[in-house]
Amino acid sequence: LDNRRMGSDYPPVIVYLPATLTSVTLPSNLSKIDTIYFQGTKAQAQSLGLPMDKTICSGGVPLTITTGDGTKVYDGTELTVDTYTVSGLAEGHVLQSVTITGSQTNVGTSENTASNAVIVDENNGNTDVTDDYVITYLPGTLTVTAKPVTVSAVGLTKVYGDDDPTTATVTGLIGEDTISYTLTRDAGENVGAYNVTPAGEVEQGNYSVTYEPGTLTITPAPVTVKADNKEKIAGQEDPEFTATV
């Protein structure tokens, strides 16, 4: 690298260096170097004394880490998957650690990603050889699907004269979760059975809703007839009997 081209009269330069270098002489004015593109590995760049804050390394052994996929039906808890596969490790090298980041709680999908891999050489005292690799991280996919819920109008009842019930039987909800629906029925208020139809959106947040029609049975209202107390003198005719309803 030529010190003569690192003076104040020259703009910052971009330097390209081959991987075959065994030594390099750095200029005294490093501030005039914008970027060094080095075709070797990070380990090679460090051994040559290249400024790593300005150096981009394109060399190294290709390595791929693929994070696992996962799927489940919504249950109110996080879906996480910490599995992964590795391809491209040299003999004696092992993936000592890797960070898996990803979670999905509600219905939908998100990436399950890996990062910060550390690779060591077991044959050389577990020396860190991560910089000898060009690592590609392939994300997995986390998928949470809607939980089935049923809104059933089967078996609704009321007593004649009372208001209609406003709720049906809902099964499948988690915790305090709620969904929205309406009930409509055939007209009529006399004792008998009337068709009831629940309705609403099928997809509601974390739930997929099925609506089951049923009947509303109106039963007779209980009525009490109480005879009023009466008196008469012996030998007289019975008084007119009355009652209270």
* pLDDT over threshold 90, residue 17: no
Over range 24-52, report the average pLDDT.
Answer: 83
Give the 3-state secondary structure of 33-70. Answer: EEEEEECCCHHHHHHHCCCCCCEEECCCEEEEEEECCE
* Model confidence, pTM: 0.72
Using DSSP's 3-state secondary structure scheme, residue 80 falls into coil
pLDDT in tens, 123-158: 999 999 898 888 999 999 999 999 999 999 999 999
Pairing of strands 169-171, 147-152: antiparallel
pLDDT in tens, 102-122: 999 999 999 999 999 999 999
pLDDT in tens, 181-228: 999 999 999 999 999 999 999 999 999 999 999 999 999 999 888 888
* pLDDT over threshold 90, residue 43: no
